[in-house]
Structure 1
Amino acid sequence: MTQQPFSRPGAIDLSALKRPAPSAPPAGPGGPGAPATGAPTGGAPTAAAGGSSYAVDVTEQNFQTVIESSMTAPVLLVFYSRTRMPESGQLADDLAVVSGEFEGRFLAGLVDIDAAPQIAQAMQIPSIPLVVAVLDGRPAPLLQDAVPIEELRAALTQVMQQLTAQGMTGRHQPLHAVAGPDDGAEEPPVDPRYAAAQDALGEGDIDRAVAEYQKLVDANPADAEAAAGLAMAKVLQRTQGVDLNEARAAGAANPDDVDAQTMVADLDMLGGHVEDAFARLVELVRRTSGDERNAAREHLLGLFAAVGNDDPRVVRGRQALASALF
C-alpha cells in the first residue's frame, strides 16, 4: 500500500467561524487582528484584486466554499500579514502569480490574518508566513518560509508532479478572465501533450502512463516536465501492489540490499518524504561498490529527475551524492 504525498489529518474545525467576529480595535504588531470590514455578504469566491484567475482573497464568508473546492483540485492557503511581516505579503503575491502559471492545477487562497483573524484561529496557525495544502477538505502544512518566487515555483512543480503520478489531475475553473490588452479573446487551450499520460494515470493504468510519457521523452529529451512525469510514473509502477510495512521491514533487515533499499526510497517519494529517499540512497552509495553502487546511483538519479533539477533538495542531494562517490 502506498502513501499519499500529503499527510491528511482531521478536517478543518470550522466551529469558530460560526460565532460572530469579536469587536476589537486594530492590533499592533504581534497582537490579534481586527475583524474584517467591508466583507462580501455572499459565499461565492471571486478572484483576488489584480491577481490571476486562480487566486482568491479568502474571507470568513467564502472560506467554506473555498475549502469545498479542494474536492476538485488542491487549494493552497497562504496566511500572511503585510503590516506584521511584509515578506509574507510578497509570498502571497507570488503564490497568486504562480497559480496563474499552473492554469487551475491549484487554487491560491490568500488569507490576510489581520482582516480574517477567525480563519487563522480555526486553522490554528502557529506563525506566518504559512502555506497549507488542502486536498479533499483536509489540510496539511506545505511551506513555512517566505521563499523567492523561483524556489516557490520549483517546489510547487514537484508537488503537482507527485499529485499527477497519484492520478490527481483535476483542475479549477478560472474565477474570471484577467483583464489585459487581449481581453475578450479566448484563452489558449491547456497544453494537450500530457493529456494521454494524465488520463492513463487517472484511470489507474500506470503501464500505459509510462508508455505515454516515454513517447514524449523520446520525441523531445529536453522536455523536463515529461521526463519528471516519466520518472514519477515509473516510481508508481515499481510500487504497485507493494505492502508498505513489509517493504520497510525488509529494508531494515537488509540495509545493504539494493532492491530493498530502493523500494523503500520509492515509497518515501510517494509519501512526500523526498529528502529521506535521497538520504537513504546516498548512504547506500557510500556503503556499496561495483555494480551495486552503480545501481543505487542510477536509481537516485531517477528520483532526482522526478523531483526536478531546479529543486533545492535535488541540489543538496547531488552535493551529497558527489561526496559519497568521491
Structure 2
Amino acid sequence: MSGAVDLSALKERATAPPSRPAAAASSGAQSGAVATPGAVVEVTEQNFEAEVLAKSNQVPVIVNIGGRAYEPSVVFTEVLEAHAARAAGQWILANVDVDVSPRIAQAFGVQSIPTVIAVAAGQPLADFQGAQPEEQLNGWFAAVLQAVEGKLSGPVADGADAEPDVVDPRFLAAEDLLDAGDLDGAIAAYQVILDSEPANAEALGAIRQVKFMARVQSLDPESIAAADADPSNLELQFAAADLEMFAQQPEESFARLIKVVSRTAGDDKAAARTRLLELFELFDPAEPIVITARRKLASALY
C-alpha cells in the first residue's frame, strides 16, 4: 500500500474512545514484556483520527485489522501486542475489530483478516495479510522503523503535554464570516488563502463547501418534485441533486445525476458529469459512497 489511500474519511466520527477489554490489555504482561503505556490501543471509527492519524505523526502506528470472533486473529493479536510491549514506544499497535468498525477496513481496502498496515504521517506505508512467523515480523518492523527514521517527531515523553494546535487566524476570520452568514465574504477569505497557498487542501475544501451552501440557498424547495416530473430538464435535475445532497441524501443525489449522464449526450452529458464530480469533491475520495458512485459513473460514461 502507499500514500494513495486517503484516510481522512474516518476523521471526527466522535470524541471519546472506548476503553480496552481487560483480556486484550493483559496480553503484553502474559508475554513477559512490560508494555509501555499507550503502546496498544483499541481503535474504532470514533477515535481513529486521534489514535491513528494524529499519533502517526509521532511514531508509526501499526493498524491490526482483525476480529474477536476469529480465533486465528485473536492469537495473532496477542503476538503483535507482545511485539508492541518490547518495542518500548517506538511504534503503537492499534487493534481494530472489523465487525465493530467495518468502515476502517473498507478505507484500507482489506480483503482478508488479519491484515496489518503501518501508518506514518497519516498515510499507509506498508502492509501484509495473514499471520507471519517471528523472523519475518521482526524484519518487517525493522524495515518500517528504518523507513520513517528522522521523518517523525517521536513519542511524547511521559507527563509531557503535546504541543497545542495553532489555529491559523486567516481561517478564524473566514469562519467568523461564515458564522455571520456572509457566505460571499467567507469564500473570498478562503480564496485569499488559496491564492497565496495553492496546495492548501483545507482552504480548497472550505471553498467548495461554502460555494455549495451558497448555491443551495437560492434553490426552490420544490425543485425535487419538479425534476421528477420533468426528467429532461437539466437545470431542474441539477437543483434536485443539490437539494438531496443538502438533505443528507448523497446516494440519491449521485444516482440522479448518474441517470442524467446515462440518458444524455454531448454538452448535456458533459455538464452532468461535471456537476457530479463537483459533488464528489464535497467528500473524501475514500468514502465508500463516492467510490461506488464513481464506478457507476464510469459505467454510465462508457
State the TM-score, normalizing by the size of structure 2: 0.51
1:92-107 aligned within 5 A: 92=44, 95-99=46-50
> In the superposition, relative to structure 1, how do residues 150 and 322 fare at CA in structure 2: closer, same or farther (>3 Å)?
closer
Equivalent of residue 250 in structure 2, options 266, 274, 291: 274
Equivalent of residue 231 in structure 1, options 201, 208, 224: 208
Pairwise CA distance, 1:238: 0.7
Tell me the equivalent position of 1:248. Answer: 224
More helix by share: 2
Pairwise CA distance, 1:129: 6.7
1:157-172 aligned within 5 A: none
Question: In structure 2, what is the Cα distance between the partners aligned to 1:91 and 1:260?
Answer: 44
Could you tell me whether the CA contact under 8 Å between 2:16 and 2:46 is conserved in 1?
no
Instruction: Report sequence identity in percent.
Output: 33
The gaps in structure 1 that reach 5 residues or longer are 1-72, 103-127, 131-143, 152-177
Question: In structure 1, what is the Cα distance between the partners aligned to 2:22 and 2:184?
Answer: 51
Pairwise CA distance, 1:307: 0.9
1:53-68 aligned within 5 A: none
| CA deviation profile, 1:204-244 (whole Å, cap 9, x unmatched) | 11112222233333333433332222222111111114342
Tell me the equivalent position of 1:301. Answer: 277
Question: In structure 1, what is the Cα distance between the partners aligned to 2:16 and 2:99?
Answer: 10
> In the superposition, relative to structure 1, how do residues 197 and 241 fare at CA in structure 2: closer, same or farther (>3 Å)?
same
Pairwise CA distance, 1:148: 3.6
2:165 counterpart of 1:188: yes
Could you tell me whether the CA contact under 8 Å between 1:239 and 1:266 is conserved in 2?
yes
Could you tell me whether the CA contact under 8 Å between 1:286 and 1:325 is conserved in 2?
yes
Larger Rg: 2
Pairwise CA distance, 1:299: 0.9
Could you tell me whether the CA contact under 8 Å between 2:20 and 2:42 is conserved in 1?
no
> In the superposition, relative to structure 1, how do residues 181 and 272 fare at CA in structure 2: closer, same or farther (>3 Å)?
same
Question: In structure 2, what is the Cα distance between the partners aligned to 1:320 and 1:247?
Answer: 24
Q: How many residues align?
A: 188
Tell me the equivalent position of 2:182. Answer: 205
Question: In structure 1, what is the Cα distance between the partners aligned to 2:227 and 2:18?
Answer: 39
Tell me the equivalent position of 1:219. Answer: 196
Could you tell me whether the CA contact under 8 Å between 2:174 and 2:185 is conserved in 1?
yes
Equivalent of residue 286 in structure 1, options 245, 262, 269: 262
2:96 counterpart of 1:147: no
